[in-house]
Structure 1
Amino acid sequence: MRIGIVVDSACDLPADFIREHRLVLLPITVRIGEAVLADHREEDATLNFLDTHVAERGAEAETIPFSVNQIRDLFLQHLVIDYDHVFCLTITKTRSPIHDNALQASFAILNEYRPIRQAAGHNSPFALRVLDSQNLFAAQAVTAVEAVRLRDAGVGVAQMREQLEQLAGNVHGYMITRDLYYMRARARHKGDRSVGLFTAALGSALDIKPVLHGYRGETAPVAKIKGFDNAVQRLFDFVGQRVANGLLTPVVCMSYGGPLDELRALPGYATLRETCQAHGVTLLETVMSLTGMVNVGKGAVTVGFADQPHAFDS
């Protein structure tokens, strides 16, 4: 059976991983004033857009996910012919309409695919499953990596669906941002009052960085640490401890809102990489999606991995 895997461009995976494993992207378009870029996870294009636009007016950006009709057209024009079963893994539905758009499109796709497949010489049925990753950015990528592993191992679609649904509820995402003022401006532009002016001002004045935890569709601060470098090191140390204790899948995904050389120079990074290597865990790193950067600002770090329930111990 030909199994396809679809992700949206907020899923922070390296471009070479996406190409090698034939993942299909639902691009998210970013508009800042007159400047428009569809995010196809091209690192150079993202960094160029970041340098010229995000730092200046990123908080005012409009992010435009694939619509119901665009998703329907992508499937009916290509995917129902190229594959027999497709898993569509989306950013958490609590933060984006992509999941609901894909779910709505799926009804039309399943009603309309038969003559298209038959014209292409395929008489077997087509099926698709839309799965909510329940997380963001690098954490969203963890479920996609497992989907690739299961597919390449020849696991059947029913077992894949069961394991991916279970895994999504056990992925932990952590994020540290550099600029709380930017986060407040972005949240205010979107009508989200979760980052208040007083909190942003106090945090910036004292150089306090919250550690945000994404889990099962919810995002909340779990620690407040003085200094960005110090907060990142303590996060990387914590992730290393979880790796040493044993993860549910052998991968840690990481993204950074800027050039990867800056990520690799952060304190604690080298030790975390060594810990992953020592325990047979793959560390996948990538430039953060453009969508991610306009929402959380330049220089943010996100980390994702699958693990048992735990408390952040900084």
Structure 2
Amino acid sequence: MRFIPAAIVLAALATPAMAQSSLPPAVRQMVEAAANTGDQAKIDAVVAIAKETNPGAGAEIDKIVADIGATKAAEREAKLASAGFFEGWKGSGQLGGSISTGNSETKSLTAGLNLERDGLNWRHRADLLVDIVDNDTGTDQQRILAGYQIDYKFSERLYAWGRFEYERNREAGINRRFAESAGLGWRAIDGERVKWDLEAGPALRQTRFITYSENTFAGRGASRFLWNWSDTTVFTNDTAIFFANSASINNTTALTSKLFGAVSTRLSFNLAWEEEPPLGLEKLDTTTRITLVYDF
């Protein structure tokens, strides 16, 4: 008695269903190529054309994009999980000039560095900004802002953070200031073009002013906003507020436009406000900077 193995029967029954496709090979290749770029704008444009010209293949087109997206996401997670601490960093350096008003009327040279490593669970950020001022008393480093922050991501939106900051601003009466803070952060907007992080938590600050020193327990709130206006222009606004016996606010608004390759130009405006500055100094300092930026 002869019989056909069940596996062969199942394969024969499945083959016609698998072979059926209403999507021409050329269109499939076009959709796959777009999906592999990871560029959402390009994917949306190609998918729209493919669906319009192949109205009966919408589900198949969506599945192609979803399968490739899932594969790329799995590859990215595996790469992040195996990366060492010194791998995966990206950032930018900037160099330019600035004009200050308030407690000082000066022209200065500005240099800055921003680094970020976004891992599977941990995110690291480091930033440094130095203004080298040229005034009547000679050339001196009047302002230094430096910070390091580490985030632990509970989800795509919720994270815990810890931050250390150093500031030196002699024109505002601050010989040196350290701040240590920690808390929770929430990504309020996580879109393709717009991202907005909000943070809050307790802080400690140790400040040596020109005439006295002050150690305080404070609360810290922060906002980090990024808006990709276009493929070549980015708007950012970063704010940090410390609430203590006397409050302070630091806000930087910037517009970065790509020139060519990895080089961009940046116009930024910084506002630094101290509720109770040393005697004889103004509460508000503003700094306008124009810099060249190199991404790496």
TM-score, with structure 2 as normaliser: 0.24
Q: Which has the higher helix share?
A: 1
The structure number with the bigger radius of gyration is 2
- Structure number with the bigger relative contact order (C-alpha 8 A, sep ≥ 6) is 1
TM-score, with structure 1 as normaliser: 0.23
